[in-house]
Amino acid sequence: MAKVGILSMQRIVNYGSFLQAFGLKAMLEDLGHEVQFVDYRVGAPLVEVKNKQRTGFKRKIYKAFEAINYEAPFNQKIQFILYKKQFAKKYHAILNLTTTPNYTPELDVLIVGSDEVFNCVQHNPKVGYSLELFGKDNRAKKVISYAASFGNTTKAKLQQYKKTDEIGNLLRDFEALSVRDENSAKVVRQLIGQSPKYHLDPVLAYDYIGKCKLIPIIPSKEKYLILYAYSLRISAEEANLISKYAKEKKLKIYAIGGVQKCSDRFIDCSPFEVLAYFINAEEVITDTFHGTIFSIIAKRQFTTLVRKSVGISYGNEEKLTDLLMRLNLSCRLIYDIRELSNIQNRPIDYAKIDFILEAERKRTQEYLELQIPRGNE
C-alpha cells in the first residue's frame, strides 16, 4: 500500500470537479492505496481582468448580486445561490476535505490531476497561477500526473507571459505524464520534447454506474430533458429555441449546474443525485465537458454545444472536440443551436462506446498499477 496524494481541483464548486476527484480516489483505493487530497496555494492570476479580481467575501457578495441579475425565474436564482453557498459544507466531507488546507504532505506518490490543473493562463482568482500545480515544493518521493489538462492554455499563451521555461522545467521533473486531451499533449511535446500518455477523465475511467453505490434511485414523475450549462452561457436565442424544442417533445426542462432563462426547474442536489437525474432524463443538452461525460455514462441522447475561445474568453472547443472524437461521438457536437433537432433525433450506438470505455479503463488501471505498485510501503 502506498500513501498517495491527489492534487486537483477538488475544492472548485461544481459537480464535474467533485466527481472527477471522487472517481480517481475510488480507483486508487480499489488498488489498495491510502489516499488523501492535497491543496495548493493560489497565486495571482496571470491574466488581469477588470472587475474580476475580487476575492474572499467581496467575491461572494459580487457573485450573489450577479446571480440575482441573471435572466431566469427568481425562485430558481435563489435556489442557485443557496446551492453554491452550501456545496462545500454539504459535500466536501465525502472527499475527506477539511476547512484547513492540506499543503505539501509527505507522500509516496503525488498525482497531479485530473481536471484543468495545468491551465495556468487564465483570469480565475480562485485558481490563479500556482507552480505547486506543476509539482513545485512537493514532499513526495515520486510525482506523476493523471489525465491533467492545460484547458485552452497553449504554448503561445505561455510565451506571451514568459512562462515556457518555468513550466517546462517543472514538467521534466515528473516521473510520468498523463493528459486527457490533444491540446495538453501538444503543449507537453512543445515544452519538453516528450509525448505524454493519454487517459480518460476519471468520471469516465471510473465505472460510476457499475461500481458506485452512492447513486440513488430517484422516481421520475414527469418526462424531462436536462439543460446542463453554466449560468449566462445559454444565450436568449438559444434559450428560446430550446424551450420551443422541449415543448414540441412535451418535455420539462431541468437546469442543473446553472440557472437558465428557459428552465422549468432548477435542480439542487448532490453530485451522485446528478447522475441519477441524468439516468432518468429523456435527453440532455449541454455545453460543458462533464455534462457531456455524464450524458455518455448515463447512455442518454445528448447534444453538446461548442463555444469558441475569443481573446481571453473561456471556450470549450479544444477539450470537447477531442473528447468526442476519441469516443467516436463527434456527430453530437454543434456550433449552432438551430442544428439541435437533427442531432437529438440521431440514435447513439452505446454498445460501441462501451467497447471503447472498457479498453480505456483497462489502460487507466495498468498505468496506475505501473506507477504506484501495490507493494510500495
Whether 348 is in a domain gets the answer: yes
What confidence tens digit (pLDDT) does each residue in 157-216 have? 999 999 999 999 999 999 999 999 999 999 999 999 999 999 999 999 999 999 999 999
CATH of the domain at 361: 3.40.50
Compute the distance between CA of residue 302 and CA of residue 198 in angstroms, rounded to an integer: 25
Whether residue 187 sits in one domain with residue 271: no
What confidence tens digit (pLDDT) does each residue in 278-297 have? 999 999 999 999 999 999 99
Whether residue 366 sits in one domain with residue 313: no
Q: What is the total count of domains within the chain? A: 2
Whether residue 288 sits in one domain with residue 151: no
Compute the distance between CA of residue 1 and CA of residue 109 in angstroms, rounded to an integer: 11
- DSSP secondary structure code for residue 132 in this structure: G
Whether residue 115 sits in one domain with residue 261: no
Task: State mean pLDDT over 10-14.
Answer: 95
Whether 84 is in a domain gets the answer: no
Whether 224 is in a domain gets the answer: yes
Whether residue 237 sits in one domain with residue 178: no
Q: Which residue from 16, 22, 312, 19 is spatially nearest to 6, judged by alpha carbons?
A: 22
Whether residue 250 sits in one domain with residue 161: no
CB 7 within 8 A of CB 132: yes
Average pLDDT, the chain: 93
Sign of CA dihedral 104, 105, 107, 112: negative
Q: Are strands 197-198 and 178-179 parallel, antiparallel or unpaired?
A: parallel
Lowest mean pLDDT among 40-44, 49-53, 204-208, 264-268: 49-53
Angle between helix axes 15-30 and 271-280 (nearest 10 degrees) is 100
Q: For residue 317, what pLDDT band results from cuts at 50, 70 and 90?
A: confident
Whether 232 is in a domain gets the answer: yes
Whether residue 298 sits in one domain with residue 337: yes
Residue 299 has pLDDT above 50, yes or no: yes
Range of the domain at 349: 214-353
Whether residue 343 sits in one domain with residue 363: no
CB 251 within 8 A of CB 223: yes
Compute the distance between CA of residue 165 and CA of residue 162 in angstroms, rounded to an integer: 8
Q: Which residue from 289, 284, 337 is spatially nearest to 183, judged by alpha carbons?
A: 289
Q: Give this prediction's pTM.
A: 0.93
CATH of the domain at 274: 3.40.50.2000
Angstrom distances, CA of residue 191 to CA of 144, 158, 168: 17, 10, 5
Whether residue 308 sits in one domain with residue 159: no
